[in-house]
Structure 1
Amino acid sequence: MSTPVITEADVKTAADRIASRVRRVTVAPADPGTVPRASAVWLAAEYMQHGGSFKARGALNLALHHLENGTMPEEGITIASGGNAAIAAAWAGRAAGIKVTVFLPATAPTIKIAKLRALGADVRLEGTVYAHALEASIQHADETGALLSHAYDNPLVAAGAGTCAAEIRDLIPDVDTVMVAVGGGGFFAGTAAAMFPHGVRVIAVEPENCRALNAALEAGGPTDVDVESVASDSLGARRVSETAYQLATNPLATSVLVTDEQIIAARTALWEHRRVLVEHGAAAALAALLSGRYSPSEGERIAVVLCGANTDPSDLAH
């Protein structure tokens, strides 16, 4: 396995850079008996982060890094995203005083588009899938000189995302396992970089029909996959990052797939039992536990990250 692009040192640097501007994650114990055989499970409430998801961390790390190093262009940042990364970039741009131009597929949820505009981003809708928006953002960067960011495949973005895991370990020093939902792999990569040096396992959970990381492990490297899931608006990357793939080959990583029905059930359970409203994608990690797709060892100490809440509450029945 080649050396990962990011390390724990990169996560620590990001943590120092963004510490005073992001909300530290909080954790709450899961109800006893809700997860068979697991004696200790915590829910990490990262959905309460600025912008409604963990992605604020990576976006701010990227922006501040370039401002500190004098490499931020006058045109600011441009990014293509299905929603959450764009919202994070818009929030970070406003916080750092830089322009942000966002490209999204026209299929992006209206609640996310509205939030982007409220944050002051220049929103442009292109095509019907992420790849179309990405192509348009690349063209915009070429024509204007804007700094091209990426929803997940950027070491600064991934390192920033990993600061959530570092905070979880501060709160639960003897945690054995962290469970995260995976789209393009930035959150997983940052989590793995922060946790593997301490012997902490990372469970990478994806929908069965939205499985870029799982497919990469099968194929021996990143490969394009079809995307068709209730969680595709946030986990719908067609190809996982090389960094995430490399880290996923570590024995401390485990890839788990869940069905859309299991994701919906986990999301509904969070609302009915805790009045916590998250995106379908953010419920994927918990779905692996509630469905038994991931079976913990007796006494295993697990943190399940609820990573995003930019969603429409009217679809809770779906």
Structure 2
Amino acid sequence: MTYPTPDDITAAAALIKGRVRHTPILQVEGAALSLPCPVTFKLEHTQITGSFKVRGAFNTMLSAGVPPAGVVAASGGNHGAAVAYAASTLGHRAVIFVPKAIAKEEKLRRMRMFGGEVILTDGAVEACMAAYAAHAEESGALSVHPYDTFPTLAGQGTVAAEIEAQMGGIDTILVATGGGGLIGGVAAWFRDRVRVISVETEGTNTLARSLREGPEISVQASGIAASSLGGPRLGVMSYAVARDHVDQAIVLSDAAVFDAARQLWEATRLTGEPGAAVALAALTSGAYVPEPGERVCVLICGGNAEPDWFIG
């Protein structure tokens, strides 16, 4: 299976430059999170559409060219917002299919705000994916897959290139995983130079199950992170990258994610969406314990949620 190289990711960064934000990093002292070393946060929730997804959306559209029918995507929210924004910026129509079962009003609002036409579907995520694929076939619209294409992974990998340039050196990166587009891009950039750790919830554990059972699985997403990490299975390309270059797959409870979000707020006055707190939860729960002096980055991947979701 061929997947993006660092050169492909460098080319993607040049292609999308000026269309996405160069998001900041923030180093937080370890004592603030009861950890033995400082932690660097990559604040990708400050991206234009509130998540990293806009990187892959722009790279896909600029790489392929968009037909008169526009673009179509399937999403629980972040990918849809990214596709809607990229399409409207480039002057194209965007149709977004969303599974009604995991739809969150704040994410639907974001998709519509950025210019997307939202179609809610019944049934599980797989039914939504089938409806979106059928629309692409019938209309001729460009399919912008949320996680399983070469340009998507190359686009998402640009965030890893940014992190390395900003930090200067890095030992470990913690990444929340859904369908695998983000961790696939990150691992494709770092290869074996950096320890890449996947973090998932018990209700969205596609990568951990795939590595254990093989890629032909079907996860019925549930729990707090379902709307952002709720892919039914890992992408074929993402699985190949993960198999080769992801060092560890951690699975945590929803309770650990709520606690991580509260600690993030107390330590930094930052909030992200549930999927963004998942990666931090590996540290705050003790599931991953860094060595003193270890240079650790936590990717805060998105912020499209009501700001008080973790309070209660």
TM-score interval w.r.t. the shorter chain? Answer: over 0.9
Q: Aligned residue for 1:142?
A: 137
Q: Aligned residue for 1:10?
A: 8
| In 2, Cα distance between equivalents of 1:246 and 1:138 | 23
Alignment size in residue pairs: 311
Q: What is the DSSP-based 3-state SS (H/G/I as helix, E as strand, rest coil) of the residue aligned with 1:156? A: helix
| In 2, Cα distance between equivalents of 1:228 and 1:32 | 32
How far residue 55 of structure 1 moved from its aligned partner, in angstroms, is: 0.2
Native 8 Å contact 2:43 2:299 kept in 1: yes
| In 1, Cα distance between equivalents of 2:258 and 2:33 | 17
Q: Aligned residue for 1:263?
A: 257
Q: Aligned residue for 2:175?
A: 180
**Paired residue for 2:234, among 237, 240, 244?**
240
- Alignment of structure 1 residues 171-250 onto 2, 5 Å: 171-196=166-191, 199-250=193-244
**Judging changes above 3 Å, is the alpha-carbon distance between structure 1 residues 290 and 4 closer, same or farther for their aligned structure 2 residues?**
farther
Structure 2 letter corresponding to 1:204: S
Native 8 Å contact 1:213 1:244 kept in 2: no
How far residue 31 of structure 1 moved from its aligned partner, in angstroms, is: 2.7
How far residue 62 of structure 1 moved from its aligned partner, in angstroms, is: 0.6
1:57-96 alpha-carbon deviations (Å, 9 max, x no partner): 00011111123xxxx2100110111111000000101111
Displaced runs of 4 or more, over 3 A: 34-38
**Paired residue for 2:18, among 8, 17, 20?**
20
Structure 2 letter corresponding to 1:261: A
Q: Aligned residue for 2:270?
A: 276
- Normalised TM-score (structure 2): 0.95
Q: Aligned residue for 1:297?
A: 291
How far residue 225 of structure 1 moved from its aligned partner, in angstroms, is: 2.1
- Normalised TM-score (structure 1): 0.93
1:228-254 alpha-carbon deviations (Å, 9 max, x no partner): 221111001110012222222236521
**Paired residue for 1:167, among 162, 171, 192?**
162
Q: What is the DSSP-based 3-state SS (H/G/I as helix, E as strand, rest coil) of the residue aligned with 1:15? A: helix
| In 2, Cα distance between equivalents of 1:207 and 1:120 | 31
Q: What is the DSSP-based 3-state SS (H/G/I as helix, E as strand, rest coil) of the residue aligned with 2:30? A: coil
| In 1, Cα distance between equivalents of 2:177 and 2:225 | 10
Alignment root-mean-square deviation, CA: 1.6
- Quick check: 1:61 aligned with 2:63? no
Native 8 Å contact 2:210 2:239 kept in 1: yes
User: Does 131-140 or 89-98 show the bigger shift?
Assistant: 131-140
- Alignment of structure 1 residues 111-122 onto 2, 5 Å: 111-122=106-117
Q: What is the DSSP-based 3-state SS (H/G/I as helix, E as strand, rest coil) of the residue aligned with 1:262? A: helix
- Quick check: 1:123 aligned with 2:121? no
Q: What is the DSSP-based 3-state SS (H/G/I as helix, E as strand, rest coil) of the residue aligned with 2:299? A: strand
**Judging changes above 3 Å, is the alpha-carbon distance between structure 1 residues 161 and 38 closer, same or farther for their aligned structure 2 residues?**
farther
Native 8 Å contact 1:200 1:252 kept in 2: no
1:116-141 alpha-carbon deviations (Å, 9 max, x no partner): 11211111111143222211111211
1:182-211 alpha-carbon deviations (Å, 9 max, x no partner): 0000000000011115x1111110002210
Native 8 Å contact 1:248 1:254 kept in 2: no
Percentage of pairs with the same residue: 36
Structure 1 letter corresponding to 2:85: W
How far residue 45 of structure 1 moved from its aligned partner, in angstroms, is: 0.4
How far residue 37 of structure 1 moved from its aligned partner, in angstroms, is: 5.5
Structure 2 letter corresponding to 1:298: P
How far residue 13 of structure 1 moved from its aligned partner, in angstroms, is: 1.1
What are structure 1's unaligned runs of at least 5 residues?
none
How far residue 53 of structure 1 moved from its aligned partner, in angstroms, is: 0.2
| In 1, Cα distance between equivalents of 2:76 and 2:215 | 24
| In 2, Cα distance between equivalents of 1:211 and 1:227 | 8
Q: Aligned residue for 1:39?
A: 37
Q: What is the DSSP-based 3-state SS (H/G/I as helix, E as strand, rest coil) of the residue aligned with 2:191? A: helix
Native 8 Å contact 1:222 1:241 kept in 2: no
| In 1, Cα distance between equivalents of 2:95 and 2:71 | 6
| In 2, Cα distance between equivalents of 1:269 and 1:215 | 28
| In 2, Cα distance between equivalents of 1:159 and 1:203 | 19
- Quick check: 1:311 aligned with 2:295? no
Structure 1 letter corresponding to 2:72: T
How far residue 22 of structure 1 moved from its aligned partner, in angstroms, is: 0.8
| In 2, Cα distance between equivalents of 1:189 and 1:252 | 9
Structure 2 letter corresponding to 1:190: G
Native 8 Å contact 1:159 1:190 kept in 2: yes
How far residue 263 of structure 1 moved from its aligned partner, in angstroms, is: 0.4
Q: What is the DSSP-based 3-state SS (H/G/I as helix, E as strand, rest coil) of the residue aligned with 2:42? A: strand
